[in-house]
Amino acid sequence: MTKPIILNAADLPEWAHAELRTLFTVLDLPKEPAEARAFLIEHGRKIRGIALRKTKIDVAFLDALPALEIISSYSAGLDNVDIQATRARGLRIENTSHILAEDVANAAVGLALAITRDFVNADAYVRSGQWPVQGHYRLGRSISHMKVGIVGLGTIGSAIAHRLRAFGSTLAYIGPNRKAVDMPYYDDVAQLARNSDMLILTCPLSKATHHLIDANVIDALGPDGFLVNIARGPVVDERALIAALASDKLAGAALDVFEHEPDVPEALMRDRRLVLTPHIGSGTEETRRAMAEHVVDALAKHFGIEGPRTCRGESMMQSLVADC
């Protein structure tokens, strides 16, 4: 039987590429834009699936693939995909938000603790020999006594909420839709910030959420407030954040993502009130392997092919607003 033809537009582990080549006829998308356009003109009409990571999928890209049925993405976010266009074509989209949620939630809570207890600077305090000279380190803040606003209560946001309940935090959330959960719902992010000691961002990047956290929201959070971003960098207006920090309008922030990563503004790198990590929210060996497995398994299941594993039940990404 002829193998389905899929487009490889994902930087996956080599073992995952080998699995794809075993199951499918794989066409690798050239990295250079002009070459990629010529490649799609030549081969696009026979491509039925895409293994995706960061490649931009817009209307023009989809028009070149009239036989496309499924996109399987090695990511939680789909900000590189024109969701409206894929819906209009009835395409199936798989992502890995349900797989990486636990480790991203762990990272978010770790960052929240690091910034409120000042662990990074406290480590430097010990290593530099200041403890015997300067004495006791300054006091931190207790996340157990904080009001925490979660911006986006999808798979990841819900996992964060589950953890923070165990700490004793008082929780509230905002999103495009009210959820059947036992916590206050806000439809205005500035109002949520005004009533929170900390905002944790888990929402997807879209036109509606680009620079959602602007000067107005940061002002509402206030000089004793904290910001944690494990969503996407452009959700935060970095210029507004830098200006607020320069004016002592925020107590601190923990950022795993940045507006123009991997470039990080020097003003953020110099500021000791910040904890900065290089987009490692889902960066564990276990989760990254499971994500790559899901990319392969989702494609195999869609085309009725017996893959290297038993697929993990029905997709949790039939709702494209899972992380809204």
Domain shared by 18 and 80, yes or no = yes
Domain shared by 43 and 164, yes or no = no
Find how far residue 108's CA is from the centre of its chain: 11
Let me know if residue 324 belongs to a domain.
Answer: no
The CB density around residue 154, as the number of other CB atoms within 10 Å, is 22
pLDDT value at residue 123: 98
Number of domains in the chain: 2
Domain shared by 83 and 172, yes or no = no
Let me know if residue 150 belongs to a domain.
Answer: yes
The CB density around residue 306, as the number of other CB atoms within 10 Å, is 10
Domain shared by 237 and 105, yes or no = yes
Let me know if residue 311 belongs to a domain.
Answer: no
Coil/strand/helix, residue 89: coil
pLDDT value at residue 76: 82
Question: Per the structure block, which two tokens stand in for 261?
Answer: 């990563």
320 pLDDT above the threshold of 60: no
CATH number of the domain residue 172 falls in: 3.40.50.720
Phi, psi (deg, nearest 5) at residue 267: -60, -35
Domain extent for 161: 99-276
Domain shared by 82 and 168, yes or no = no
What is the residue whose two structure tokens read 């959700």?
A: 235
Let me know if residue 270 belongs to a domain.
Answer: yes
Domain shared by 90 and 103, yes or no = no
Find how far residue 271's CA is from the centre of its chain: 24
Let me know if residue 309 belongs to a domain.
Answer: no
Percent of the chain with pLDDT over 70: 95
Band (pLDDT 50/70/90 cuts) for residue 307 is confident
Percent of the chain with pLDDT over 90: 91
CA–CA gap between residue 312 and residue 324 (Å, rounded): 23
For the stretch 218-258, pLDDT in tens is 999 999 999 999 999 999 999 999 999 999 999 999 999 99
Residues with Cβ < 8 Å from 278, sequence gap 6 or more?
A: 256, 261, 262
Let me know if residue 183 belongs to a domain.
Answer: yes
Domain shared by 110 and 208, yes or no = yes
Domain shared by 152 and 290, yes or no = no
Domain shared by 259 and 293, yes or no = no
For the stretch 60-81, pLDDT in tens is 999 999 999 999 999 888 889 9
Let me know if residue 120 belongs to a domain.
Answer: yes
pLDDT value at residue 311: 42
Q: What is the mean pLDDT of residues 267-290?
A: 97
For the stretch 9-57, pLDDT in tens is 999 999 999 999 999 999 999 999 999 999 999 999 999 999 999 899 9
314 pLDDT above the threshold of 80: no
Domain shared by 103 and 238, yes or no = yes
pLDDT value at residue 79: 87
Mean confidence (pLDDT) of the chain: 93
Let me know if residue 264 belongs to a domain.
Answer: yes
For the stretch 195-209, pLDDT in tens is 999 999 999 999 999
Domain shared by 237 and 164, yes or no = yes
Band (pLDDT 50/70/90 cuts) for residue 170 is very high
Active site positions, annotated:
232, 261, 279
